[in-house]
Each structure stands twice: as C-alpha cells, then as structure tokens.
Amino acid sequence: MNSHTTRYQHRSRQFSLLSLIFLSCLCCIDNIEAADANSTVQMSNKKLVYLVSDLRIPFWDIMWRGIKSRATSLGYDVEVYSAENNAKRELEFAVRVLKDNVSGIIVSPTNSSACETILKFSKPAGIPVVISDIGTDGGEYVSYISSNNHDGAYQIGQILTRKLADAGWQSGRVGIIAIPQMRENGRARTAGFMQALSEAGIKGADIKQQVTFSYRETYDYSEQMIKKYPDLRAIWLQGSDRYKGALDAIADTGKTEEILLTTFDAEPIFLDLIPQGILIGAAMQQPYLMGEEAVTTMHRHLNGETVEKEKQLPVLAISKENISEKLPTIRRNVLGIESH
Amino acid sequence: MKTLINKHPIYVTLGIIIISAVAIISVLQSTYSYLSTKHRIENEMRESVERSIISLNKNIATYLSSYAVNEYQKLVTNELERRNSFAIVVEDYNMGTIMGVKAYVSGKIRDDQWRPTDFNPNNTQQNRKLEQAYYSFRQSIVSPGGEELGAITIYISDHELRAELREIVVGNLISTISISLLLIVSLFVSIRLRLLKPIAEIAEVISHADKEGIPHENVPCAGPQEITTLSKTMNRMIDTIRNSRSELITKQTELEQEKERFKLAIDGANDGLWDWNLKTNEVYHSPRFETMLGYQVGELPNSIECWSELLHPEDSEQAHRRVKEYLDTKGEGRYENTFRMQTKSGDWRWITGRGKALFDETGTAVRFVGFNTDITKLIIQQEELQHQRDTLQFQASHDALTDLANRTLFTYQLEQGIDKAARDNSKLALLFIDLDHFKEINDSLGHRTGDEVLKSVTLRLKQTVRAEDAIARLGGDEFTILIEDLKQDQDASRLAEKIQHKLSNPIIVDNHELYITISIGISIYPDNGKTSKDLLKNADAAMYKAKSEGRNNFQYYSAEMTAQAFERVQMETRLRMAIENDEFVVFYQPQFNGVSNRLVGMEALVRWQAPSLGLIFPSQFIPIAESTGLIVEIDRLVMRKAVAQFSEWYRKGLQPGTLSLNLSMRQLQRKDLVEFLLASLEDSGCSPEWLEMEITEGHVMENPDEAIKVLSKIDNIGIKLALDDFGTGYSSLSYLKRLPITKLKIDRSFIKDLPNDTEDKAISKAVIALAKSLDLEILAEGVETIEQIEFLVENGCVVFQGFFYSKPIPVSEMEAFLEKKSWIDAEPSFV
C-alpha cells in the first residue's frame, strides 16, 4: 500500500471490507441477491486499482486524486499501487492485483513497453484496463486517456514564437530539452512545437533527451546549448519539474532576459513565475481531469457502454496573458486543488 | 530394358540411354547436392541459432534483470523474424518469482501459416510442435553478476530446410531435362547425319535382295570408319555367301540324294526305326515300327515302358538284360537283341533289334537309336527247318517201322550207358531179342503182317520195360533192350521173363491169332564185355544159345548166371506152389523179461516147410518173395495163422503175452492193410492189444510221412507198434518222435559183441537212453550170453529175445512151453 494513501482511504477500505463481509453473510444466510446481474457490477467486486509508475511525482499524485475523487463519487473502492518507478515492483503489483480479481485497473505505467506487459497479463484474467497517459506499445485495453500533447505543444510554441517576434528575436534559435522521444507523448510534443516554430520561421537548435530527469542534467543540457548556440533565444523544456536547472543555467551563463524559458506541464510555483515573466508560458496537462476521465470511462465500460478507444484531453497553453482567466481550471485540473 | 532397346528405332534407344544416363547422373548429383545442402543448412541453422542465442542472451539478460518483459518479448519477436526461426521461448525466473512459479515462460512460435504467434506454455498443440522441432538450442541467461536469470531456447523447424531442398530438387530436375533435351537433340542430329544415313543407305541396298536374301548389289562404303569397315565386311560376306551358296546347293542336292537313299533303304528294309532319348525317356517310333505290330501310326505311346510292356514275358528279362549289357559296354559292344513282341491283335512277332547308342563325356548313354526287324517269317522257317532236321535225324537214328532206335542210335546209347556205368561203378544189361520163327510168318502171311507183328511186339516191349530203358530194333526181327543201373544180375532175367510173359498172349493181325515166342540173350557189363561191340556180340551169342536151347527162353552169356537165373525162376515157381500148397508154417521165438524171467510175448517167424527141400529159412526165399511181390501173400498167410494160433492160446488161457508180427514194406504199401488186419482180428477173435506189429527202421525211412499215416491207423485199431532193427536205418529223430511206436528193438548186430565192444556198448547205451527219454519200451534182439543180459539190464534194458532164451520154435513146442509155464519160476535157460 502506498504511503500516500490517506486516512480517508484507509477508512474507505475498512468500510469496503466490512461491507464485503456483511454482504457475504447476507449471501450465506438468505441466499438472496443471487448473481443475477452479469450486466452490472456487483457490489462485492466494485473495486478499482490504480497502478502508477511513481506517486511521488506530482503529476501522478494529482491524477490519483482525480481518480480517487471520481471513483468515490461513483461508489467504487479504489486502491493505488505506486511502483516508484521500479519495473519489478510495477509487475509485482500488477500480478497481485490480477490475482485479487478487481473490477478494473487504471494504469499509468512506467513506460509504454511495461504497459504492454501488464495488458498481456490482464487479458487472460479478463480484467479491463484503462490507460491513463504514457500509453502502451501494444496489447488490448478499454481506453487510452491522454493529453493532446501535439496541440498543447503547438499552442505553447505559438506563445513562444509570438514572444520572440515581439522581442524581435525571430532569427534566434530555440533549443529543446525533451523527454525521451521513444515515448509517444514525447514525439507528439516535439512535433507540435516544431510545427509552431516552423510556421513562425524560427530555427531550432539541439534537441536533448532527458535520461536521468535530474536538475543537473537539465542544467548541463541548457548550458551546453547556450554555449553551443550563441543565437539561442529560447529553451523549451518538455517537462516541468527540473525548470530550476534551466533557469540557473541561463542565469549562470549571463543570459537572463536574453533567453526565454517555456515548459510543458506545470508546477504550482508556475502560478507565480509566469505572471512575473520568468517563464514565458507552460503547456499544462490536466492530470486531475485525466484521472476523473479514466474512472468515468472505466465505469462506463463496466456498465456495458461503448467507450472511445482513445480519448485526448486538451492541454492548456498558459501564458502571462491568460493565466488569470484559466486559474480556476489550472488549480483543479492541473494542480488538483479542489475548492471546497 | 533389353526388349525395349531391341524393339525400337535407334533414335528411341539412344534417347532412352541418354535420358537414363542423364537421369541417373542427375539423381546422383541431386542426391549429393541434397545431402550436402542439407548438411550445410543444418550446420548453418545450428550456427545461426547459436549466434542468435548468444546475441539474444546478451541483450535479453538486461531486460530480464530489469523486468522488461515486453522488451525482451519484442526482441524475441524481432529475432524470430530476422532468423526465420520456428520458435523462441524464454524462461524468466524473475517473473516466475513474481508469479509464484519457477519461471515465467513466454515467447514466439510460428503457426501453420508460418506467422509468429505468442507462445502459450499451456497450449498442448504448441508444445507438441516444439517437441517435433527439427533442432533446438537452449542456453541459460545469466546476468553480468553471474545470477541465472532464466533460459532461452530457440527452435528450428525443417521448414526452411525443406524449402531450400525443394528448390534444389526442382532446379536439378529442370537442369536434367534441359541437359537431356540438349544432348538428345545434339546426338540425334549427329547420329542422323553421321551414322544413320550411311546405315540407311546400306539397308536400302540390302533390302533389294534376291529370294534367298542376298543383295543384288554391294553395299556403299561411306560414312564413319566403323561403318565403312562394316560395309566392306558385308560386301566380303555377300561375296562369300554367293560363292558358298553354289557350294551349298551342290551339297544340299547331295544331301537330299543321301537322305532319299537312306529313306529308300529304311523303307526297303521294312524295318521299324526307334530313337530312345535316355534323358527324357521318350522314344520315337517310326510309322513302320508301329505298323509292324499292327498299330496305327501314332497309336503307340512314346515311352520305353511301351516297348517293355509289349515284350513276351519269356523274353522280357533277357531283352532288358541285353540292353543293359550293351549300354554297360559304353558303346564298344554290339547291340543285337531278339525277342517277341505282341501285336495289337494279340499275336506275337519275332523281332530283332539292332542299334547304337550315343554317350556323353561321362560315359552315360544319352541316345539310343536303332531298327527293329520283323524276323517272324525267318524264325518260322528256321523252326520248320529244324523240324525237318529233327525228322531226318530221327529217321536216321530210328527204325522207320517201329520208331524204335536203330542200331546206330542204340550203339550210341549203349556207349553212353557204358561210360556212365563205368563212372558210377554200376552194371548194365543188354538183352538181345529175336522172334522165333518170324521168317515163317513173313513167308506165309506176308511182310505186311510181319510188320504188324513187329509193331505189336514193339508195343508190348515198351509196355514192359521202364521208361528209362532203351529199346532198339536192329533190323529184321531183332530187338535190343538196354537196362542201366542194374542192381542184380538176375534183374535182367526177370525182365526177360516179363517180356516172354508179355508176349505169351497171342497177337491178332488181320484175324490171324499168332503166338509169338522169343529167344533172349543177355550180356552184362562189365562181366561180359566192356565195349558196345563186345556186349552186343556176346548178347547175340547168348541169344543164339537160347535158340539152340530150344527157343522161347533166355540165356546169359555166362552159364553160371544162366544157372542162377533158372534157379531163381524155379524158386519163384516153388514159392507160388508153396503158397498154393500151404507149405509155410509159423515159428515163435519167445521174449523174456530178463529180470523177472517171465515171458512177455513172442515173435512170429515164417518157415517154409518144402516137401522136397525140407525146412527153408526166410533168408533163402524172402528176397525172391519180395522181388516178386509174393511177400505180401506170404506175410498175410503167416499173420492169419499166427493170429489164429495166438487167439487159440489165449482161449486156452496160456498167457502168451504179446504177439509180434513183422510188417514188410510191401505190406505197408498196400492200401487194404488196415482192412486186412481188422478182418484177421475179427476172423480169429484176437484182441488188438495182444498184437504188436514190427516195422523195420529202414522201411519206415523209405517214405516216413506215408509210413506214419498207415502206422497211425494201425495204432488207432489198438495194435502196438515196435521199431525193429533200431540203429541200422539212420532214423531221423524228428520222425522217430512222430511215429506212434511204443517199443524199440535194438538190432542184434549191436548186441552180438557186448559187453566187450566199446562202440556197441556206447550204441546200446545210447539207444536205451533214447528209448527212455522218449518213454518207449526197449527190447534187445539176438541175446546169446548172460554177460550180454547183465550189461543190458545194468543199463536199463530188461526185455530180451534171442537164443540165450530160445530159438524160434514151432507151434507145438511153443504150446507145450506155454502149458508148462516153466519159465515162471525156472532159471533162465535155453528151451
């Protein structure tokens, strides 16, 4: 059980367990509530599991909150298993969950390849799987909920190219520190962003793919590109968590206010950095919304409804100009901050 | 193949050869290629698999250690497709641990359409396919740190192998057909131009030939060297054939003439040809062979058994022997065989077979050919000729009137008889007979009557003499008779008397009753001559002596013999008269028990009381009586008298014991003997148990079986039987056992010298022992001394007869003796 499980979740699980015991007793004593509803989910089996690569990452935590919120509202027990980015643990959780014969699995795999393995195991067990982000290399699943990375990247690209144009830096280059391009979302982001650059006639510099996703890596990549391309006028990070490395590299190379920084995804602090102009903008996925949508899709599937095989949710392209307007949406869907 | 080649044009033949050769080479090459390719592919597959597995192992270890199941499965999929492997199976121990099993097994396997599909370890069909995989290679997957993470197994099917090999086979087939076609076309063209064209030209020339198949022209000499050489050779052959044909025609004509000559010879000889194949045992018969025996042509079976079956049974053995003898000579002898064969109608034909056999290198006859000649006519002619010869010979040696031997033949027979008598040390007698006063019959009644008289005399002579005695007519009224193996000189005079007696009856010729007397002269070999001439001369002289003595008598050449003859004749006459006059009397010799001295019986002995001669002993008249047959009458006379006397003694109560009567051989031979005995017993009132018949051992042994029969009948009457003179007749013990006798009489010759003669002692002891062993009584004859009696008693014989007790005595003395009964208490003494 992940340490992030809340007390509420503990109580919910305890309640579910008691409910199960209670229902079992009812079945034994009165033999009522016979198994007459193959078309509908039985209360005793109404449990969803969320397999996630690493709940320590805010994005996944926000998505988990969306899942838990929607699942609870739909009457499901829900448990989360965080592999902490460990493939072995991810598989162990998958095997264990499959043995528990849960109603459905929502998975955000460590990578699309591992997801295919999970799908391969779940298929013979007959447990439906909804993929929430990352995607899969193959296999059978109920639905794949993802962000429209291409369009999000395109829009943030357009924001950046407008800024460059406003500054008269159209001749400058834009460097990209990308997530691994082996990932489908990485390739989509690069394509959308490059489309915007292309349309604006702005040249690209290197695309450096992250491996360790560390601060140092981001700092080094940024410094290397700054030094390599004197005409570098902007850096686009395809992730949000190591934005500080890029800012420090720009600052340390004396390029503050000479090189613009933009990101994909967001951190809570961005709500301050964007209005200050430290960050030009960010393409913000909506993990909370994705979590909710994943549960909704699963629920519909379990209730025999036809669901879309792939569903892409919009990515919010936020800049200084629209952040105020989009703030409630950002707070809920991007940052998972529910207003009570 | 041979037939195929022989019956088809050379094109086809060459085509078959080329295709066959190319096919064989291609098959061999394909086989070699197939095997080497298979070997190569197998090696490549193994190497590929090993490389693949090494490569995979290196990459997959990372994935296994990082639990990147999908990644290594992708790797496996890629490797499967890249290497065209049949299946790759990964055993993941890490995943196995997670899943609670030893290993998580996954992989890829080709389906029936050779498409990669996921391997499911629980899929039976897939597992079976893996088991049937052509080759598999398994290797453990080890992490860099040395931890065994799992295993990978690559399976190879023969799919690729088969595809490649199929390609090789198809390729080879195509190349074979192509090469064959190319070779055939090339060869056909070159053969057509270089070989067949010249041959066709030769054939064209040869096809224009005369009726005997010889070409009109010589064949062309063109084309390759071999065909040119062939053409030249053929031309030389044609020339040679043309030359030899004329020679052949000449020889054929000669052969035809020879054959015709041979056929004419066979037909002319009228012989039947036979040809016996000894290997198959089949026989060819010429038509004449069959018609010779009255059969239709082809009617006789063609087997040697047919010949054997038609042979006369009397000739069969000899005919087969002749064939065997000839074949045994291996052809060095001459085969000629005469035998009779039966015709279809059942007649017999005399056949002479001549022939010659062929032998193989081992000397075994393989063929036997010859002719059968019908010599029946010749045989008949020979038989007729022989008959004529026999007739002539008979006429030359016999008298034409009487068919008796003539002088020549008789002389020959006499000489033969002399030779035999000389060899056998025996005697023969020659009787020379002359009819008395025959001349007067001829003169008065004519020669024809005389001839008839001679024939009648001849007939009576033949009826008188034995079959083996030779009779001859020397001429006129002179006859001779040759008697061989003469026992006694007087036998000749007896025959003379018989003849005279036979001729004493009148001969009737043409109503004339003629009384013929004859004069006979007798000469004896060797007493009166040792040659035929001397014997004839002396017999003739004796005959004249008889004539001079008044005719109608016989004379020996020796006067002494004549005297003896007449004495015998007189004795015989007296015997007849003695019978008529009842001059024979019976004497009795008593028989005693030597121990008790009691009379046990007596033997009846005949004596002749002749008025003029006095008492005559049996030895003087019995031989004459036996030779004349008077013995039977004398015997019966004695028997009747003795039995009657004995009965009377019994009636008088004189206790005479047992009466022994001698039974002569002649008596024994009489069929009415038993009736006679029964009648005598009845007439006299004699009890049969009072009687004992004695038969000499010698008489019994003359015809023992018949004697046993008669003696058994006598035994059945109740009359006892004793064997007389035992020890002199060489009795067979087996017959002795069968004889119904109760007593043995030891002959006096064995008693005479007892007890001094060792041999007589041994014999007498043996006879006594024999009698005891056969449970017979024993009586010793001729005992004369007390020593003899003591010896005999000591050895078990207690009954005696002899002078020691009594000589034979007349009735009166015996009756007196019986009446006195003096022997009962008296000491033994002469009576």
* Residue A125 in contact with partner chain B when CB distance is under 8 A: no
CA dist B595 and B823 (Å) reads 12
CB-based contacts of B503-512 (< 8 A; 24+ apart in sequence): B503/B457, B503/B460, B507/B452, B507/B453, B507/B456, B507/B457, B509/B445, B509/B449, B509/B452, B509/B453, B509/B456, B510/B445, B510/B449, B510/B452, B512/B445, B512/B449
CA dist A193 and A161 (Å) reads 10
Same domain for A231 and A250, yes or no, is: yes
**A91 vs B71, B74, B95: nearest CB:** B95
Q: Is A123 exposed, middle or buried (0-12, 13-18, 19+ CB in 10 A)?
A: middle
- Assess whether pLDDT exceeds 70 at residue A2: no
Token pair of B400 as six digits: 């034409």
* Residue A88 in contact with partner chain B when CB distance is under 8 A: yes
Distance from CA of B84 to the nearest CA of A (A): 22
| CATH number for position A270 | 3.40.50.2300
Indicate the SS3 state at residue B97: helix
Mean pLDDT over residues B270-289, rounded? 88
- CA nearest to B104 within chain A: A121
CB–CB of B84/B78 below 8 Å? no
pLDDT in tens, B683-707: 888 889 999 999 887 777 777 788 8
**B67 vs A91, A115, A116: nearest CB:** A91
Same domain for A130 and A257, yes or no, is: no
Domains of chain B: 10-166 (3.30.450.20), 270-380 (3.30.450.20), 398-560 (3.30.70.270), 582-824 (3.20.20.450)
CA dist B561 and B496 (Å) reads 13
Q: Is A30 exposed, middle or buried (0-12, 13-18, 19+ CB in 10 A)?
A: exposed
Interchain proximity B67–A120, CB inside 8 Å: no
H/E stretch holding B616 reads: strand B614-616
- Pairing of β A232-237 and β A173-178: parallel
The candidate with the shortest Cα–Cα distance to A213, out of A256, A184, A183, A169, is: A183
Q: Which residues of chain A have a CB within 8 Å of the CB of B101?
A: none
Token pair of A19 as six digits: 């409910």
pLDDT in tens, B215-268: 888 888 877 888 888 888 888 888 888 888 788 888 888 888 888 887 787 777
Residue with tokens 């015989």: B572
Domain-embedded: residue A323: no
Residue B806: φ, ψ to 5°: -170, 145
Same domain for A100 and A154, yes or no, is: no
Token pair of B584 as six digits: 């024979």
Token pair of B650 as six digits: 């019994």
| Interface mutation vs chain B, best among A86, A91, A112, most B CBs within 10 Å | A91
- Pairing of β B614-616 and β B478-486: unpaired
CB–CB of B116/B77 below 8 Å? yes
Same domain for A35 and A99, yes or no, is: yes
CA dist A330 and A323 (Å) reads 8
**A95 vs B73, B74, B99: nearest CB:** B99
The band of B826, judged by pLDDT with boundaries at 50, 70 and 90, is very low
The candidate with the shortest Cα–Cα distance to A48, out of A286, A309, A297, A289, is: A297
Domain-embedded: residue A2: no
The band of B39, judged by pLDDT with boundaries at 50, 70 and 90, is confident
| Interface mutation vs chain B, best among A93, A117, A119, most B CBs within 10 Å | A117
Cα angle A134, A138, A141; round to 5: 75
ipTM beyond cut 0.85: no
Mean pLDDT over residues A108-121, rounded? 90
Domain-embedded: residue A54: yes
The 3-class SS string of chain A reads CCCCCCHHHHHHHHHHHHHHHHHHHHHHHHCCCCCCCCCCCCHHHCEEEEEECCCCCHHHHHHHHHHHHHHHHHCCEEEEEECCCCHHHHHHHHHHHHHHCCCEEEEECCCHHHHHHHHHHHHHHCCCEEEECCCCCCCCCCEEEEECHHHHHHHHHHHHHHHHHHHCCCCCEEEEEECCCCCHHHHHHHHHHHHHHHHHCCEEEEEEECCCCCHHHHHHHHHHHHHHCCCEEEEEECCCCCHHHHHHHHHHCCCCCCCEEEEECCCCCHHHHHHHCCCCEEEECCHHHHHHHHHHHHHHHHCCCCCCCEEEECCEEEECCCHHHHHHHHHHHHCCCCCC
Same domain for A78 and A191, yes or no, is: no
CB–CB of B520/B493 below 8 Å? no
Domain-embedded: residue A249: yes
Distance from CA of B113 to the nearest CA of A (A): 22
* Residue A43 in contact with partner chain B when CB distance is under 8 A: no
Interchain proximity B69–A120, CB inside 8 Å: yes
pLDDT in tens, B323-380: 988 988 887 888 899 999 999 999 999 999 999 999 988 888 899 999 989 899 888 9
CB–CB of B747/B725 below 8 Å? yes
**A88 vs B67, B70, B71: nearest CB:** B67
The candidate with the shortest Cα–Cα distance to B499, out of B526, B469, B529, B535, is: B469
- CA nearest to A136 within chain B: B70
Q: How far is CA B40 from the centre of its chain?
A: 86
Token pair of A297 as six digits: 């899709």
- CA nearest to B98 within chain A: A92
Distance from CA of B118 to the nearest CA of A (A): 10
* Residue A171 in contact with partner chain B when CB distance is under 8 A: no
Interchain proximity A114–B99, CB inside 8 Å: no
What pLDDT does residue B522 have? 92
Q: Which residues of chain B have a CB within 8 Å of the CB of A87?
A: 66-68
Domain-embedded: residue A105: yes
Same domain for A226 and A302, yes or no, is: no
Same domain for A69 and A29, yes or no, is: yes
Mean pLDDT over residues B614-619, rounded? 83
Domain-embedded: residue A298: yes
**Distances in whole angstroms, Cα of residue A129 to Cα of each of A103, A184, A286, B104, B293:** 9, 19, 20, 22, 123
pLDDT in tens, B493-509: 889 989 988 988 889 88
Residue B345: φ, ψ to 5°: -80, -5
Q: Radius of gyration over alpha carbons of chain A, in Å?
A: 22
Which has the minimum average pLDDT: A314-318, B25-29, B479-483?
B25-29
Domain-embedded: residue A40: yes
Interchain proximity A91–B69, CB inside 8 Å: yes
Same domain for A259 and A184, yes or no, is: yes
Distance from CA of A89 to the nearest CA of B (A): 9
- Boundary residue ending a domain (A236, A265, A284): A284
Distance from CA of B72 to the nearest CA of A (A): 10
**B71 vs A95, A113, A120: nearest CB:** A113
Residue B454: φ, ψ to 5°: -60, -40
Q: Which residues of chain A have a CB within 8 Å of the CB of B98?
A: 88, 91-92, 95
Q: Which residues of chain A have a CB within 8 Å of the CB of B95?
A: 91
Name B237's Cβ contacts closer than 8 Å, sequence gap at least 6.
none
Q: Which residues of chain B have a CB within 8 Å of the CB of A109?
A: none
The candidate with the shortest Cα–Cα distance to B609, out of B601, B600, B618, B596, is: B618
CA dist B354 and B332 (Å) reads 14
pLDDT in tens, A269-307: 999 999 999 999 999 999 999 999 999 999 999 999 999
Same domain for A185 and A279, yes or no, is: yes
**A113 vs B68, B94, B95: nearest CB:** B68
Q: How far is CA B587 from the centre of its chain?
A: 64
**A92 vs B69, B74, B98: nearest CB:** B98
Domain-embedded: residue A66: yes
Name B416's Cβ contacts closer than 8 Å, sequence gap at least 6.
none
Interchain proximity A137–B70, CB inside 8 Å: yes
Same domain for A13 and A125, yes or no, is: yes
- Assess whether pLDDT exceeds 60 at residue B805: yes
User: How many contacts, defined by CB atoms under 8 Å, are there between A and B?
Assistant: 34
Q: What's the number of domains chain A is made of? A: 2
Distance from CA of B27 to the nearest CA of A (A): 51
- CA nearest to A139 within chain B: B70
Residue with tokens 């042994």: B701
pLDDT in tens, B566-610: 777 778 888 888 888 888 899 999 999 888 888 899 999 988 888
CA dist B126 and B247 (Å) reads 92
Name B178's Cβ contacts closer than 8 Å, sequence gap at least 6.
none
Please report how the helices A112-125 and B69-83 are oriented relative to each other, as an axis angle in degrees rounded to 10: 90
**Distances in whole angstroms, Cα of residue B142 to Cα of each of B139, B145, B152, B379, B698:** 9, 8, 10, 125, 137
Strand partners, B521: B432, B555
Same domain for A274 and A308, yes or no, is: no
Q: Which has more confidence, B549 or B514? A: B514
The candidate with the shortest Cα–Cα distance to A47, out of A166, A134, A127, is: A127
**Distances in whole angstroms, Cα of residue B262 to Cα of each of B81, B267, B580:** 100, 9, 93
Same domain for A114 and A33, yes or no, is: yes
Which has the minimum average pLDDT: A198-202, B519-523, B663-667?
B663-667
Q: Which domain holds residue A239?
A: 149-284
Interface of B with A (CB under 8 A): 66-71, 73-74, 94-95, 98-99
- Boundary residue ending a domain (A267, A284, A301): A284
